[in-house]
Amino acid sequence: MSIKSEAKSFAYGSSMHGGRPTFALTRRLGDDAGLTLYEFIPESLANGRQKRLRRSNTNRTLSRIPISEALPDVSKNEVEQFDFTTVGSPTERTPNNWDWDEWCALKVTTLRGKRQQAVHRLVKSVLGDAEVDSTTVTRGEGSAVLSESDGVRLTIAFLALKDLRKYEKLTTVADSVNRMSLEECYYWHAKCRSPSSPNGVKALRTLLADHVK
């Protein structure tokens, strides 16, 4: 199954969230330049995730901000709902009618410099298959909202690239994630994000790039 057909089968997000977008990419210039990936999550689930991290005695914390801060190019419409028509989204279904009052944005990570360059081909592939204009996050400043399946794929790539230095390894990881099946992406996402699996990202990085010297 192609990435495109897999992504469409998931619509915007998981069924438990009513098909809403659950991830976003934002590109900024200037002092805070970089490409940042966010996950949208209900506050109650964010609280539960933070408690599990603390119980696992890990050093990981949740970087939580309001959705309006994660997507500064989004405003509210006349009925106080976020108007996402100004950001990149699949043309056939612009998300514009969900209640976000008890939701927040969790920062996955920000990629800069050569790490940002290395992930561009993957970003273009993922957004292109979802029929999202990738230039909103690859040129200038802009944002795009994503489905759960697309966000999961980008999450494991962003996390694996974060601490790599060699450009050949960066591009190898990004290209390898692009070729993964959706099932593989969800498996590694669970390994990388679980409090009980603190070495998940390291294991993924080793699997994909350890052979590159």
Which of 77, 82, 98, 74 minimizes the C-alpha distance to 18? 98
Report the phi/psi class of residue 65: left, alpha or beta, with left for phi > 0 and alpha for psi in -120 to 50. beta
Round the average pLDDT of the chain to a whole number and report it.
85
User: Once rounded to an integer, what is the mean pLDDT over residues 101-125?
Assistant: 95
Name which of 81-85, 128-132, 145-149, 158-162 the model is least confident about.
81-85
Given a contact cutoff of 8 angstroms between Cβ atoms, the answer to whether 19 and 27 are in contact is no
pLDDT top residue among 19 and 211? 211
What confidence tens digit (pLDDT) does each residue in 67-100 have? 999 998 888 777 778 888 788 886 555 556 788 8
